[in-house]
Amino acid sequence: MASMSRDTPCSCDCFVSVPPASAIPAVIFAKNSDRPRDEVQECTYIEVDQVPKTHAVILSRPSWLWGAEMGANEHGVCIGNEAVWTKEPVRAGEALLGMDLLRLALERGSTALEAMLVITGLLERYGQGGSCREDPAPFCYHNTFLLADRTEAWVLETAGRLWAAQRIQAGARNLSNQLSIGVDISAEHPELRSHAQAQGWWGGQGSFDFAQVFSLTQQPVRMEAAKARFRAGRELLQQRQGDITVEAMMDILRDKDSGICMDSGGFRTTASMVSILPRDLKRPCVHFLTATPDPSRSVFKPFIFGEGVTQAPQVLSPTFGAQDPVRTLPRFQTQVDRRHSLYRGHQVALGLMEAEQQERGQKLRQKQHDLEREGLEVLWGLLAAGEGTPPPQQLGSLFQAFVEREGQAYA
């Protein structure tokens, strides 16, 4: 297992609510991406055979790589990934990152189950590995995934090429950087149990508890802390059981007391996402993304796949071509400034808001609150099919419009 310093970026939290846990007939997905504190979010390492058709995707990704920490596709599939360490050794060589697997699954899967099978198929063929941060010191891990669509969710937890999956058809579920699938296994790698038995991790008789069999006997310190976040996240979901809304998920992602909204040492919550996936196919899926750090002082902005979808240049990081430290060998020997324009404006605003007595900082926070409320009103109108919502031809540019207005507020 790779060694980890106190500043190792190894904490993320994923959440899903499936009716009847949701307050409305919709699946609600959410994730905080906790990464190195100066990393900016917008297939690294190896080439993968492409497929004839891919789906449109919206991604929140570290700006230096091809894959993503979280995202959604045009069919209403959402995925988030998490770092995890198990008894299975981490592969030292370069392979597919968990973030690459996430993007490939979104591009190729039209349901959560299809996306999960894309990941397990790629794992079997290519494996997983490679450094997961922009730093000369290698940092590698295995991955767990939360996948959701309009009808259900899947938890997929991996150990090298091996995996176990759990289907979630009702209720609420969360992940926090640890194996969490016990005996309730819905699908698994065909060699999962025989491998565990051959390694002496399982006796071959009685129940098979995946988390118990494959988890490290002694967890690193930050993984022990993840257990507390997992319990806190589960309790926050249970408190809202049957009444979970988009706003409730945003509140959970903003919860600092639990550590879910992270700001500790060398890493923090660098981006957040909440998606609502209505059971009614006539209603569009709406994805709220921050594209900036610290959800407690960021704006969740609505994105909808529709006519005329456009990129928002304000949240695209600069590119460096062949001279990018990610592309030159050995990798990550120098640093470049990857901040996009919204990130820069938000950093200035964040400094003002942290000085709570400054009047301008308070006004900026109110502007953020008002802008987010407008986005939620668009969501409510779409779900109710009421009047006052943007016409279909304007939905594709909705995210860009909100990004522009947020940027203007920081100017």
Enumerate the active-site residues.
12
Name residues whose C-beta falls within 8 Å of residue 331's C-beta, 6 or more positions apart in sequence: 131, 136, 325
Whether 353 contacts 364, CB under 8 Å: yes
How far apart are the C-alpha atoms of 53 and 110, rounded to whole Å? 11
- Phi, psi dihedral angles at 114 (to 5 degrees): -60, -45
The neighbour count for residue 169, using CB atoms within 10 Å, is: 11
Using DSSP, state whether 407 is helix, strand or coil.
helix
Whether 50 contacts 81, CB under 8 Å: no
Query: What does the DSSP 8-state code read for residue 136?
Result: S
Q: Of 19, 117, 108, 18, whose CA–CA distance to 71 is shortest?
A: 108
Torsion over CA of 108, 390, 20 and 254, rounded to 10 degrees? Answer: 80
CB-based burial label for 405 (10 Å; 0-12, 13-18, 19+): middle
How far apart are the C-alpha atoms of 183 and 190, rounded to whole Å? 16
The neighbour count for residue 49, using CB atoms within 10 Å, is: 7
Whether 19 contacts 30, CB under 8 Å: no
Give the 3-state secondary structure of 85-125.
CECCCCCCCCCECHHHHHHHHHHHCCCHHHHHHHHHHHHHH
Q: State the distance between the two ends of the chain, measured CA to CA, in whole angstroms.
A: 46
- Element housing 30 (H / E): strand 26-36
Alpha carbon separation from 20 to 23, 91, 155, 189, 243 (Å, rounded) = 7, 40, 18, 30, 9
Sign of torsion over alpha carbons 44, 346, 275, 238: positive
CB-based burial label for 309 (10 Å; 0-12, 13-18, 19+): middle
How far apart are the C-alpha atoms of 357 and 389, rounded to whole Å? 37
